[in-house]
Amino acid sequence: MLGDRTLRLQHGNRIEALCVLGTHISADVYGAAPAGAVSFGVKHTEGVSVEVACRGQAEVGSAPGSRMQWPLDEGTVLRISMSRASTEVNDNKVTVSFYAEGGQPINQAGVFLTGIGISLDVDADRDGVVEKNNPNKASWTWGPEGHGAILLVSCDKESPFTPASDCDEETVFSKEDLLDMSRMVLRTKGPQRLPQGYEIVLYIPVSDADKVGVFYAQNPFFGQRYIHVLGRRKLYHTVQYTGGAAELDFFVEGLCFPDDTFSGLVSIHVSLLETLAEGIPHTPIFTDTVVFRVAPWIMTPNTLAPVNVFVCSMKDNYLFIKEIKNLVDKAGCELKACFGYINRGDRWMQDEIEFGYTHGPHKSFPVALDSPRDGGLEQFPIKELLGPDFGYVTREPLFEAITSLDSFGNLEVSPPVTVAGKEYPLGRILIGSSFPTAAGRRMTRVVRDFLYAQQVQAPVELYSDWLSVGHVDEFVTFVPTSDAKRFRMLMASPAACYKLFREKQKEGQGEATMFKGYLGTDTKRVTINKVLSNDNLVQQNQYVQRCIDWNRDVLKKELGLTEEDIVDLPALFKLDKQGKAIPYFPNMVTMIILAKDLGIPKPFGPVMGGECCLERQTRSLLEPLGLRCCFLEEVASYHGRLGEVRCGTNVQRQPFAFKWWHVTP
């Protein structure tokens, strides 16, 4: 914080003062004048610049050794500055001479000055270099022309011997820890020692103490070590002044992601303190400030390239894993199985975690967001994912009850979109919730607040409580395409299914049988004619279609989509005893998307000419978009338990190339 500092001169005395380069010292000449004085003159050494301001008039410079005199008027001040650092204490001075009527000298006031350079510096222009005294270092702005330094949350774990992530530790175990942190440099320049009574202190506000940690690189005789100097239990640190031109390296880490009570901005200050005498408290005479924004947690949409596919190995899904392995190999990514000793009988991989990442100018790494559902997979993200350059974050409510809507099948993100001229280059998060006018299930507030607080993927709340499981991935998903739009939104559509079935009935295929080879419990013969003549089922699906259409309208508005951007996949639902919808046959929308390769739940629709008409219809909709459809049999493993392919798998994807700080929220 550069600015004026007030110094009180005393006639008959010469005081000592430090002058920080780039700042001004304002000295009240009128208040320091002896009785009878009517004018004054100023002399100073070459290392000092002095300007005289009389009655608010434009400032006039004073040359070294000048014999010029000014009238002594109330409000007359000197503005003193230094442009280069001192090599010795008190090596510059300013002398003010006071004169009576007729030019008779009366007395003098003087100040011995020591020039010192102090600059707390960060990478304010986000180019990976800590530049000196960037004028924008104390503020933070969004957008391509924005400025301000960035912090990563050290939510990974570099050492296998610590039980928690690095942000819970106040120790640097290796230099790899430092690679997650942002460099901050304290640059000083001046004499070999500070004058007695001065010290330099680095500090953080109490409100930031649990959000930022700072380490200092120390160089003892036997190797370098890193000392924790600021953080949860340390609000200030006295800096050792080394003399001459020096650069002290500090490393800064974020301790938590933005949240409803934390905007993401943190500040760090360095102050030059002065004391008049032993036993008298210090007062600050100069402060420099830097501001960081903690990088957000960012979700990855289906349109980004897959890296790893995770699936739980269960006693009943061996064939499914074999099929998914073939799909993963075709897509060029890697399959990672989670075995029984970790999954403890919990097969719902998508519900437990959401893969995302965090990103700064110097580094990026994946971060798993752990849902509050905590089933058998509770320990999976901590034991199997958390590690070097793989972070972990969770939000759990203190008092709210956990519902199915807190599982992360109920968390989706769109591809990048533009809505009424406003760009969302990282897409928009989609959350399933209850109907706005009715009481019902909602995702727990701590998770919703966390998602909103990241700012870069403005969430949209949809209506999913009409479903028994209540997840958005049961009626909407996104697939990549190679045309100008770059993606399509797929929606479950009972209307599309009834239209297809009526067409087949008109073609004389009304007795075509569904569920051939189906391993579910219901083995009754079901034909197209029976489905179309079931008035109760028709009414239930009219209700479901209205629920989906309500979401369709919201999505078109909030994502800037047209009907041409939407593909309706045939789907049917039925209502359970609580009036909530469950799939009538495996729901094809709840698929796994691996670039151009789609792992779609096998629907077991009416078979005609040896081919399922639902599969044929889906291929005709998706394959012209450059997509490859692979239908996976998952009835016993997932559908029979009210889940589908996506529910039992999870995909870690490549991060966006786009820099989140270029967003304008």
Helix axes of 494-506 and 613-622: crossing angle, nearest 10 degrees? 120
How far apart (Å, rounded) are the C-alpha atoms in residues 230 and 215?
A: 7
* Residues designated as active site: 647
The contacts of residue 119 (CB under 8 Å, 6+ apart) are 132, 133, 186, 187, 188, 288
Judged by DSSP in three states, 429 sits in strand
Give the separation between CA 410 and CA 473, rounded to whole angstroms.
6
Cβ atoms of 661 and 603 within 8 Å: the answer is no
**Under a CB-based contact definition with an 8 Å cutoff, are residues 390 and 381 in contact?**
no
The two beta strands, 353-359 and 364-370, are: antiparallel
Fill in the amino acid letter for 554: V
Q: Read off the amino acid at residue 320.
A: F
Cα–Cα dist 168/151, whole Å: 16
Length of the chain in residues, anyone? 665
3-state secondary structure 177-240: HHHCCEEEEEEEEECCCCCCCEEEEEECCHHHCCCEEEEEEECCCCCCEEEEEEECCECEEEEC
Q: How many CB atoms lie within 10 A of CB 187?
A: 17
**Is 420 buried (19+), middle (13-18) or exposed (0-12) by CB count in 10 A?**
exposed
C-beta of residue 448 within 8 angstroms of C-beta of residue 459: yes
Distances (CA, A) of 431 to 302, 358, 367, 412, 566: 16, 20, 19, 7, 19
Distance in angstroms (rounded) separating the CA atoms of residues 442 and 444: 6
Amino acid letter, 319: L
Q: How far apart are CA 543 and CA 157, in angstroms?
A: 49
Contact yes or no for 429/451 (Cβ under 8 A): yes
Q: What residues have CB less than 8 Å from 221, skipping those under 6 apart?
A: none
Contacts of 564 (CB under 8 A, 6+ apart): none
- Say how far apart CA 29 and CA 124 lie, in whole Å: 39
Q: Which helix (H) or strand (E) holds 93?
A: strand 92-99
**Closest listed residue to residue 180, CA positions, set 132, 226, 237, 235:** 226
Per the structure block, which two tokens stand in for 475? Answer: 């009626």
**DSSP code of 164?**
S
